[in-house]
Amino acid sequence: MLINRCVRFSPCARTTAIKSFPTYDTFLPFRPLAARYSHHGPQYNGPAPTVAVIGSGPAGFYTAQKLMREIHGTKVDMYEQLPVPFGLVRFGVAPDHPEVKNCQDTFQEVAASPDYTFIGNVNLGHDLPLPLLAKHYDAIVFAYGASKDRQLGLKGEEKPHIYSARAFVGWYNGLPEYRDLNPDLTAGETAIVVGQGNVALDVARTLLSKVDVLSKTDITDYALQTLSSSKIKHVHVVGRRGPMQAAFTIKEIRELLHLEDVQFTPIPEELFPPDLKQLPRPRRRLMELLKKGSPVRDQATKSWSLDFLLAPKFLNWSASDPNCLEGVTFIKTKLEDPTSPDSKVTNTDETQLIPTSTLFRSIGYKAEAIPGMNEVGAEFDERRGTIRHDGSGRVVPFGEGGKTETNPTGSLNGVGVYCSGWVKRGPTGVIASTMTDAFQTAEAIVQDWKTMYSSASQAKEPRDGWKGVQAEAQALYLPLRPIHWDQWQKIDKVEKAEGAKRGKPREKFGRVTEMLAAAKS
């Protein structure tokens, strides 16, 4: 269902009864996006900031949305490395979860505002030095997510038949970086996914789903072709800990249990806590579902299992062909307190070999630093894979940008630096968690801004944003080829038309060159 949101019109006269006095703004028949929630608090009539948001995924868009709502007239320039927006909503959310992508409707609404500018196909820190932004913006928000994934640390992990779930998901979702992954799904009948989060379950579901079900989604055609020749019949989803500690969520488990012609291997009874009724509701419902499993399906052609308490130790390669995976040897682990969701886990001396020809690692994503980040005062915590901040997303508050011991006045023109989403809190949680997180960052920015400019009397020259950046980049002969929102809409249109020909909502371009060509059409 598409929500036809009322952005430009005042609320229905008949149905509105706002107890607290609405601001004057509410009574104007035409109200811009930023005024939507203006009745939540005293009206602010000071200057509005010009903000650079880096990344166009949910973290970037939800931060932009909140900023534009809270301070009327806030200008947001959103930088994106690819010519296409929406980040993991486009490249991460599973193709068979189209309803999760509905948040794009909200993002499109944000993008439709005259105060919003999309600057795609510009790779900050590479095409454009990051410090250059400082004098053209009041604030820079890092919202570029996690672009790498964690490795198992096993010898031979880089060899064929071993894939990162991030790469596999990116590949079937049309992420240009992995367009040529071409995974070989014909080497054998078994696959192992190491990791028990929702990404691991997405991989398992994609491998087990019927191709004619997937063919109605926006999964890429090249992925469909590879999947249709897949020989994989059983998927082990392996985790180091037990069912009580697993990171997946119940919806994803239920979907897998409902897959037609797919049998779930029951979980041994002793792995469950003896009394499920004692558990808090979410964990209890998940345990009950896992215990119930799937009905016996005699016609099942494929199967899957959740294999608990196993940590990968080494990869077993064929003696005759060193590039042919034969299995994975796991160490059996032991939980200190099997019933506790954050129980510690220790290795035992026992090992277990699971024969397999294909391995996916899905043990988490990882963010990376952007070159030049520390020059704007941001410090990247390599161990956590996040940007250091104050807990609410503040990296450098307004007015202090670039202040150092050697340069106490701050050469960065008082730019405020903030972070939002996965690069702020680490790669965990669903879109709703990122939304909450992004709203928190936006609220911090608004609070800091209003503290500095509490009223219109503190007039302030607006910073020139993208216009200034572009002029400076030109003067430096930086070859930028930005893609703006209207050009993305052209790409979008072509993708949808291509999809319609194939009975799909969209056929994504897998290469940047194809995207750029469509943008020029």
Partner 1 sequence: MTLYRRHQAEVEIKKDQIRQQIRVLEHGRRRFSTTPTQRHGHVTPPKPGEELHVTFIDKDGDRHTFEVSKGDNLLDIAQANDLEMEGACGGSCACSTCHVIVEDEEMYDKIPEASDDENDMLDLAFGLTETSRLGCQVEMTPDLDGLVVKLPQMTRNLQASDFEKRS
Q: Per CB under 8 A, does 251 bind partner 1?
A: yes
End-to-end CA distance of the chain: 31
Alpha carbon distance 505, 219 (integer Å): 9
Closest distance to partner 1 from the beta carbon of 169 (Å): 12
| Rounded (5°) CA angle 495-501-503 | 95
**Nearest alpha-carbon partner for 77 in 114, 50, 137, 117:** 117
Question: Which CB atom, from 110 or from 122, has the smaller least distance to partner 1?
Answer: 110
Q: Per CB under 8 A, does 37 bind partner 1?
A: yes
Part in contact with partner 1 (CB under 8 A); list of ranges 34-42, 300-308, 457-465, 508-516: 34-42
* 109 known member of a binding site: no
Label residues 330-358 b or e (16+ Cβ within 10 Å = b): bbebebeebbeeeeebeeeeeeeebebbb
Residue from 34, 64, 103, 395 in contact with partner 1 (CB under 8 A): 103
- Helix or strand or coil: residue 317? strand
Closest distance to partner 1 from the beta carbon of 174 (Å): 21
Alpha carbon distance 222, 411 (integer Å): 50
Q: Per CB under 8 A, does 439 bind partner 1?
A: yes
Question: Which CB atom, from 99 or from 349, has the smaller least distance to partner 1?
Answer: 99
Residue from 126, 155, 254, 292 in contact with partner 1 (CB under 8 A): 254
Alpha carbon distance 234, 236 (integer Å): 7
Residues 261-290 that bind partner 1 (CB under 8 A): 281-282, 285-286
The β-bridge relationship of strands 310-317 and 302-307 is: unpaired
**Nearest alpha-carbon partner for 207 in 370, 119, 96:** 96
* 422 known member of a binding site: yes
Residue from 316, 411, 413, 440 in contact with partner 1 (CB under 8 A): 440
Q: Per CB under 8 A, does 159 bind partner 1?
A: no
CB atoms under 10 Å from CB of 388, counted, come to 12
Site string for partner 1, 404-433 (x = CB under 8 A): ---------------------x-xxxxxxx
Closest distance to partner 1 from the beta carbon of 18 (Å): 6
Alpha carbon distance 7, 9 (integer Å): 6
Question: Which CB atom, from 27 or from 477, has the smaller least distance to partner 1?
Answer: 27
* 429 known member of a binding site: yes
Question: Which CB atom, from 22 or from 410, has the smaller least distance to partner 1?
Answer: 22
Q: Which two three-digit tokens encode residue 318?
A: 């064929």
Alpha carbon distance 187, 182 (integer Å): 13
Closest distance to partner 1 from the beta carbon of 140 (Å): 21
- Helix or strand or coil: residue 43? coil
* 48 known member of a binding site: no
Closest distance to partner 1 from the beta carbon of 243 (Å): 14
The β-bridge relationship of strands 386-387 and 394-396 is: unpaired
- Helix or strand or coil: residue 268? coil
| Rounded (5°) CA angle 94-100-106 | 130
Per-position DSSP letters for 161-210, written without gaps between them: TEEEHHHHHHHHTT-GGGTT------S-SEEEEE--SHHHHHHHHHHHS-
Q: Per CB under 8 A, does 39 bind partner 1?
A: yes
Part in contact with partner 1 (CB under 8 A); list of ranges 32-40, 112-120, 154-162, 398-406: 32-40
Part in contact with partner 1 (CB under 8 A); list of ranges 30-38, 125-133, 226-234, 465-473: 30-38
Residues 191-250 that bind partner 1 (CB under 8 A): 195-200, 247, 249-250
Question: Which CB atom, from 370 or from 431, has the smaller least distance to partner 1?
Answer: 431
- Whether the CB-CB separation of 56 and 118 falls below 8 Å is answered with yes
Question: Which CB atom, from 131 or from 197, has the smaller least distance to partner 1?
Answer: 197
Residue from 73, 100, 154, 512 in contact with partner 1 (CB under 8 A): 100
* 189 known member of a binding site: no
Question: Which CB atom, from 172 or from 439, has the smaller least distance to partner 1?
Answer: 439
Which residues, including other chains, have CB under 8 Å from residue 410's CB and lie 6 or more apart?
Answer: 399, 400, 401, 402, 403, 404
| Edge-to-edge strand list for the sheet holding 310-317 | 310-317, 325-335, 345-355
* 241 known member of a binding site: yes
Q: Per CB under 8 A, does 46 bind partner 1?
A: no
Site string for partner 1, 357-386 (x = CB under 8 A): -----xxx----------------------
Q: Per CB under 8 A, does 105 bind partner 1?
A: yes
Question: Which CB atom, from 28 or from 497, has the smaller least distance to partner 1?
Answer: 28
Alpha carbon distance 367, 60 (integer Å): 15
Closest distance to partner 1 from the beta carbon of 172 (Å): 18
Q: Which two three-digit tokens encode residue 511?
A: 């290469």
Closest distance to partner 1 from the beta carbon of 86 (Å): 13
Q: Residue positions in the annotated binding site for FAD?
A: 59, 80, 88, 124, 422, 429-431
Q: Residue positions in the annotated binding site?
A: 59, 80, 88, 124, 196-199, 240-241, 252, 422, 429-431
Residues that bind partner 1 (CB under 8 A): 1-6, 9-22, 24, 27-30, 36-37, 39-40, 97, 99-100, 102-103, 105-106, 195-200, 247, 249-251, 254, 281-282, 285-286, 362-364, 425, 427-433, 435-437, 439-440, 443
